[in-house]
Structure 1
Amino acid sequence: MSEIEERLNELELRFMEQARQIEDLNAVVAEDGRRLARLDRENSRLREVVGRLAPEMIESPDE
């Protein structure tokens, strides 16, 4: 195999590995997005419950 063919082969292997890593990272980002949306909904529900249970409570500084 010539040097150019070897280099091309190496580049193709690197490209395939990077493509796989991008797909893996995309799956992680998508799952994190779903998890974040779920946690946001849960947070909203918990705030509603706390608001109904203790309306006289002073709001925290971060609100």
Structure 2
Amino acid sequence: MTLEERLVEIELKLTAQEDLVQTLNEQVYQQQKQLSDLKALCAALVKRLGEVADDSGAADAYTHERPPHY
């Protein structure tokens, strides 16, 4: 194998690795965006559950009651 052939092979491998890194970076970006969206949704749900719990004070009597199987 000549030096030129080796350099071409190395360049091809480097190009393939750069493409793979770019693809992985895009995937990580999409996952981070989805994670941020899910965190925001969870925060909104927690806030909504807190509002519902504040609005329905009568339900609190049942939340501290022991289940019948105890």
Both structures adopt the same fold (TM-score exceeding 0.5): yes
Shift of 1:54: 2.1
User: RCO higher in 1 or 2 (8 Å CA, sep ≥ 6)?
Assistant: 2
Identity %: 28
- What residue is the counterpart of 2:29 in the other structure? 30
CA RMSD of aligned residues (A): 1.7
Q: How far, CA to CA, are the matches of 1:19 and 1:8 in structure 2?
A: 16
Q: Where in structure 2 are there 5+ consecutive unaligned residues?
A: 55-59, 65-70
The runs of at least 4 consecutive aligned structure 1 residues that moved more than 6 Å come to none
TM-score computed with the length of structure 2 as normaliser: 0.73
Q: How far, CA to CA, are the matches of 1:43 and 1:3 in structure 2?
A: 59
- What residue is the counterpart of 1:47 in the other structure? 46
TM-score computed with the length of structure 1 as normaliser: 0.80
Alignment deviations for residues 1-53 of structure 1 (CA, whole Å, 9 cap, x no partner): x6111110100000000000000001001111110110010000000111111
Instruction: State how 1:14-29 maps to structure 2 within 5 Å.
Output: 14-29=13-28
Which has more radius of gyration?
2
Q: Where in structure 1 are there 5+ consecutive unaligned residues?
A: 59-63
Is 2:6 aligned against 1:7? yes
